[in-house]
Structure 1
Amino acid sequence: MDSQQLLTFIAVAESGSFSAASARLHLTQPAISKRIAALEQNVGEQLFDRVGKQIQLSQAGKVLLPHARTIAQNLQAAERALADLTGTVGGTLSIATSHHIGLHRLPPVLSDFSREHPDVVLDLHFLDSEKAMQAVLQGEFDLGVITLPDTLPRQIDSAPIWHDDLCFAVAENHPLAGRRVQLASLTEFQAILPDSSTYTTQRVQQLFDRSRLPLKIHMVTNHLDTIKMMVSIGLGWGVLPRQMLDPDLREVFTQVKPMHRELGAVTHRDRSLSNAGRIFLQLLKSHSQHQRR
């Protein structure tokens, strides 16, 4: 099987359409179709079921996809290893990060890195931390910069970078604004939080569960900047990083131990980092140390 055909197959499978794969690989749509047809001829199976304008992986496609990904990852690893022998810092560095970290923590790191290493193509993807973790675990990205979970998969190495203090926040005119109250007082008002599968909401849920209190989640969004906006106009209370507080928001003080989360980098133990990846990780750590001074 031709490696370019396999890479095209992966792109179509992940993007869900030939046109999206065409844009992703910077190829014409006929070229994409030609590669897929050639691969199907080579394997002797139809890899996609085409229903109208929709395409889905066939049973053969589902069987081939994980093997194709492994082959692509091994090829990339070989290319990185050979390039790294020369000490060059180039190629593509793929990073998965959450929207909050990508907007509020990473910009100075990305700016410095791209300025110092212009030959590296930064392939940045915004995902929820939980999805980014799984993507790194499956070898889809070189590294992730995410909210670190309490328990890491055994195949994952982590490097804590930022300590993120969390607080209960409300609008400046909210009845609880600036007050010191019992945790139970929050149950009288609606909460605006990320999805229950996120690390942040799991921490909040555990806090309420320990106090045997109901957690009334009124609205759900995984974007902290959206939560900040909705809280600031009085739609409910939220849990936000303390650094996001501004004149439109007020903290609610409770008797419980302050919450926090660790933000950091995750990599796969069985996947060696390129020179670019190692330098980026070092730069992350140096920015963190500078901020703590």
Structure 2
Amino acid sequence: MQTDAIRAFVAVCDLGSFQAASEALHLSQPTISKRLASLEQRLGHSLFDRVGRGVALTEAGRAYLPHARELLAVLQDGRRALDNLGAEVAGVLRLALSHHVGLHRMPGVLREFVSRYPGVEPQIVFVDSEAACRSVANGERELAVITLPTPAHPALVEDCIWPDPMSVFVGHDHELAKRNQVVATDLAPHACVLPPVDSYTYQIIAQALAARDVQVAPHMTSHYLETLRMLAGVGIGWTVLPTSMDHPELVRLELPELVIRRRLGAIRHPRRSLSNAARALLSLLDQARVPA
């Protein structure tokens, strides 16, 4: 079966249109259409419903997609295995980073990596930790360095590199900033700004708050912790940030009974071959490890 056709199928699924797939693969739209028609003929099933300029997966398409991803991942594994026969650390490194980890934890590691291994071409995407997990599980990325999920992802192997304690912050004009003593239950009546409710970080925060009988309904949400820091600083609500993100515009509330802690680290697929470049990056991450 033609792998180019399968690659075109997955690209259309990921990008949502023939045009976007053709641009990503540097092919014409007629070529994409021809490859997909050939694949559908070989499979004996229609994979897409064409509605206007949009496309939607058929039932057969939805059933075939995970197998198509798996086949492309296996082909990548084979290429990596051949590349790894030599000791050279070179080639493409497909890496996913969460925004916070990329900005606050990885610059030193990446600086050392690109200096030590100039033959490697890093291809880095900055995505939410949840999307990064999916990309590693699907074989689209070799590694991701992110907020680790709680509980652990059932299909992936994780390695905690940095413990990440978190604290509650408010702006200087917030009512809670003016109190001599605050307990966790004092947070409940006040508006909060937190990560999206389907994010790993929100789940960690909500579980810690629930253990202190505090239920929350965020007034606003954002995956970008720098945005939450700004919103709290201007007085829109209290927030929870890594303690390391303390800022002159914020007041950190002393709540010793409330323990909120994330874990940041690397994830990989246990059944995928890692390139020499990925192994080299893991080695540098190990050197950057902070004991829990």
- Aligned pair in 2 of structure 1 residues 200, 60: CA closer, same or farther (>3 Å)? closer
Question: 5+ residue gaps in structure 2?
Answer: none
C-alpha separation between the residues in 1 aligned to 2:215 and 2:72? 47
Aligned positions of 1:197-212 closer than 5 A: 197-212=198-213
Give the partner amino acid of 1:127.
Answer: V
Aligned positions of 1:257-276 closer than 5 A: 257-276=258-277
Which residue in 2 is equivalent to 1:45?
A: 45
Instruction: State the Cα deviation string for residues 223-249 of structure 1 (Å, max 9, x = none).
Output: 211111111111000000112121111
Query: Given that residues 133 and 144 in structure 1 are in contact (C-alpha distance below 8 angstroms), is that contact kept between their aligned partners in structure 2?
Result: yes
C-alpha separation between the residues in 2 aligned to 1:255 and 1:115? 42
Query: Given that residues 193 and 218 in structure 2 are in contact (C-alpha distance below 8 angstroms), is that contact kept between their aligned partners in structure 1?
Result: yes
SS of the residue aligned with 1:225? Answer: helix
C-alpha separation between the residues in 2 aligned to 1:243 and 1:118? 32
C-alpha separation between the residues in 1 aligned to 2:261 and 2:211? 17
Matched, 1:93 2:82: no
Query: Given that residues 91 and 120 in structure 2 are in contact (C-alpha distance below 8 angstroms), is that contact kept between their aligned partners in structure 1?
Result: yes
Give the partner amino acid of 1:89.
Answer: V
Deviation for aligned residue 1:99: 1.4
Q: Matched residues, percent identical?
A: 41
The size of the alignment, in residue pairs, is: 290
Aligned positions of 1:94-113 closer than 5 A: 94-113=94-113
C-alpha separation between the residues in 2 aligned to 1:59 and 1:223? 36
Instruction: State the Cα deviation string for residues 146-198 of structure 1 (Å, max 9, x = none).
Output: 11233323432221111212110111222222753111221231111112222
- Aligned pair in 2 of structure 1 residues 149, 60: CA closer, same or farther (>3 Å)? closer
Query: Given that residues 183 and 255 in structure 1 are in contact (C-alpha distance below 8 angstroms), is that contact kept between their aligned partners in structure 2?
Result: no
- Aligned pair in 2 of structure 1 residues 67, 207: CA closer, same or farther (>3 Å)? closer
- Aligned pair in 2 of structure 1 residues 74, 214: CA closer, same or farther (>3 Å)? closer
C-alpha separation between the residues in 1 aligned to 2:125 and 2:184? 37
C-alpha separation between the residues in 2 aligned to 1:124 and 1:205? 30
- Alpha carbon RMSD of aligned pairs, Å? 2.0
Deviation for aligned residue 1:214: 3.0
C-alpha separation between the residues in 1 aligned to 2:132 and 2:18? 24
Give the partner amino acid of 2:18.
Answer: F
C-alpha separation between the residues in 2 aligned to 1:8 and 1:175? 56
Which residue in 2 is equivalent to 1:59?
A: 59
Give the partner amino acid of 1:217.
Answer: P
Which residue in 2 is equivalent to 1:70?
A: 70
C-alpha separation between the residues in 2 aligned to 1:109 and 1:286? 9
Instruction: State the Cα deviation string for residues 19-73 of structure 1 (Å, max 9, x = none).
Output: 2112222223333223223323333433221101111122332232222111111
Deviates more, 1:58-67 or 1:3-12: 58-67
Deviates more, 1:37-46 or 1:258-267: 37-46
Q: Which runs of 4+ in 1 moved over 3 A?
A: none
Give the partner amino acid of 1:151.
Answer: P
Matched, 1:36 2:47: no
Query: Given that residues 208 and 258 in structure 2 are in contact (C-alpha distance below 8 angstroms), is that contact kept between their aligned partners in structure 1?
Result: no
Query: Given that residues 81 and 274 in structure 1 are in contact (C-alpha distance below 8 angstroms), is that contact kept between their aligned partners in structure 2?
Result: yes
Give the partner amino acid of 1:133.
Answer: C
Which residue in 1 is equivalent to 2:122?
A: 122
Deviates more, 1:25-34 or 1:138-147: 25-34
C-alpha separation between the residues in 2 aligned to 1:206 and 1:249? 24
Give the partner amino acid of 1:60.
Answer: A
C-alpha separation between the residues in 2 aligned to 1:245 and 1:26? 45
Query: Given that residues 167 and 252 in structure 1 are in contact (C-alpha distance below 8 angstroms), is that contact kept between their aligned partners in structure 2?
Result: yes
C-alpha separation between the residues in 2 aligned to 1:173 and 1:228? 14
Give the partner amino acid of 1:143.
Answer: L
SS of the residue aligned with 2:219? Answer: strand
Deviates more, 1:201-210 or 1:273-282: 201-210
Which residue in 2 is equivalent to 1:249?
A: 250
Matched, 1:82 2:104: no
C-alpha separation between the residues in 1 aligned to 2:85 and 2:215? 57
SS of the residue aligned with 1:103? Answer: helix
Query: Given that residues 169 and 251 in structure 1 are in contact (C-alpha distance below 8 angstroms), is that contact kept between their aligned partners in structure 2?
Result: yes
Give the partner amino acid of 2:5.
Answer: Q
Query: Given that residues 184 and 258 in structure 2 are in contact (C-alpha distance below 8 angstroms), is that contact kept between their aligned partners in structure 1?
Result: no
C-alpha separation between the residues in 1 aligned to 2:181 and 2:126? 36
Which residue in 1 is equivalent to 2:14?
A: 14
- Aligned pair in 2 of structure 1 residues 153, 207: CA closer, same or farther (>3 Å)? closer
Instruction: State the Cα deviation string for residues 81-117 of structure 1 (Å, max 9, x = none).
Output: 0110012223322222211112222223223323332
